[in-house]
Structure 1
Amino acid sequence: MELILASTSPYRRALLERLGVPFTAIAPDCDEDAVKSAGLPPLVVARRLARQKVHSVCDRFPHAVVIGSDQVLDLEGERLDKPGSAEAAVRQLQRLAGRTHRLITAVAVASPAGWIDWENVSEMAMRTLPVDAMRRYVEADNPWDCAGSYKLECRGVALFERIHTDDQTAIIGLPLLKLTQVLTGLGFEIP
């Protein structure tokens, strides 16, 4: 069976490569801005985007297994997006410092056998940090392409005092523990 990752994310590609299963990454064709601007709760946004990514690819490859994922940061009901610049990253970190937020990673998998989707919700408690430490961090990791302005797989781990999650890889962008179970159930040999 052909395996397709409906994503252009280098983080998701690197995570899926860990499983040792050959796959193709294809850019999904969905209007993320329309979903994000609809005023929906963060969890619903993450779910819809993961499913739309899969739909946009599986229509072209109906006999493949297609994986889609999206990640949304939920700060007390408010969705925070990728900051896009170093200055915006520092501002986002200022909002998150000393507070707990939820990082929602939604996944959808379509196959000829049907659909499965799920979410991993990680509770992230960030330390209180001085602004100069935030600036040093942003300069070191360049996290402006990450929801929350941090890369846990790099120096971003030092920003936190507590993390509660069922799967650390979900924080990076693709929860491999559950995905491995799903793919094994579909007949992929892992490892």
Structure 2
Amino acid sequence: MSPPDHETRAGASPADLVLASTSPYRRELLARLGIPFRCVPPPFDESAFPREGLAPRALAERLAEEKARSVAAIEPDAVVIGSDQLVAIDGEVLGKPGTPDRAIDQLARLSGRTHELLTAVVVTSAGGVERYLDRTRMTMRALDRAAIERYVAADRPLDCAGSYRLEDRGIALFEAIEGEDYTAIVGLPLIRLVTTLRGLGFLVP
């Protein structure tokens, strides 16, 4: 069950906290910290953002910042968290497949190989902007086409970059995941975020 939006600001917090996202996964992660916050969809057209010439890491960082800044423009007194996550292999970004056939093709490309899951976070406040990026190495098991097709039919990961849902059966596709913060693979690296929010005066246990 998704947590409710939090409309009341904690007394010790310096500002409203806003998550610039519609992702239920990021919303549930941030709710773990027990800080009141609101979710505001970023008024930013990600599909129209120019990507040519940007390496995967730079693209993830730019998209996270555009999301945060677009919400900060309408929430000027808030602390705003923007985040973006990309799957990258061979220097190329794999987007959301959209169709089962494209999902099967993506997973066939990732099968038996190691790719990167890049999770960028940008936090804007009256004091400035803080940016960081989490890199997780994801090693997928060697999968035959029948296994890939069964997985796509079961999880329907058509709106997931890389064509897998780690929160569901997608975790069974992997033989190793190497990173500093397991919450980053869901979409929001809480370890670094807690440090940032504490520095801004939010009460985090």
The normalised TM-score by structure 2 is 0.88
Which of structures 1 and 2 has the bigger CA Rg?
A: 2
Shift of 1:38: 2.4
SS in 2 for 1:148: helix
The answer to whether the aligner puts 1:172 opposite 2:186 as a matched pair is yes
Which has the larger displacement, 29-38 or 158-167?
Answer: 29-38
Q: Which residue of 1 aligns with 2:46?
A: 32
1:22-65 Cα offsets, whole Å, 9 max, x none, are 11111112232233542311111101000000110111111110
> 2:50, 2:142 → 1: CA distance?
29
1 CA distance for matches of 2:64 and 2:74?
17
Structure 2: stretches of 5+ with no match in the other structure: 1-14
Q: Specify which of 68, 78, 86 is matched with residue 54 of structure 1.
A: 68
2:51–2:59 contact (8 Å) kept in structure 1: no
**Range that drifts further, 115-124 or 6-15:** 6-15
Equivalent residue for 1:64?
78
| Percentage identity across paired residues of the two chains | 54
Kindly provide the amino acid, as one letter, of the partner of residue 170 in structure 1.
Answer: A
Distance, in Å, in 1 between the alignment partners of 2:150 and 2:106 is 14
Name the SS for the 2:202 alignment partner: coil
The two structures have a TM-score, normalised by structure 1, of: 0.95
Q: In angstroms, what is the RMSD of aligned CA positions?
A: 1.3
1:83 equivalenced with 2:97 (yes/no): yes
Report the counterpart of residue 148 of structure 1 in structure 2: 162
Aligned residues: 191
Counterpart for residue 4 of structure 1: 18
CA contact (8 A) 1:35 1:45 kept: no
Q: Structure 1 counterpart of 2:196, which letter?
A: V
Aligned AA (1:103): L
Q: CA deviation at 1:130?
A: 1.1
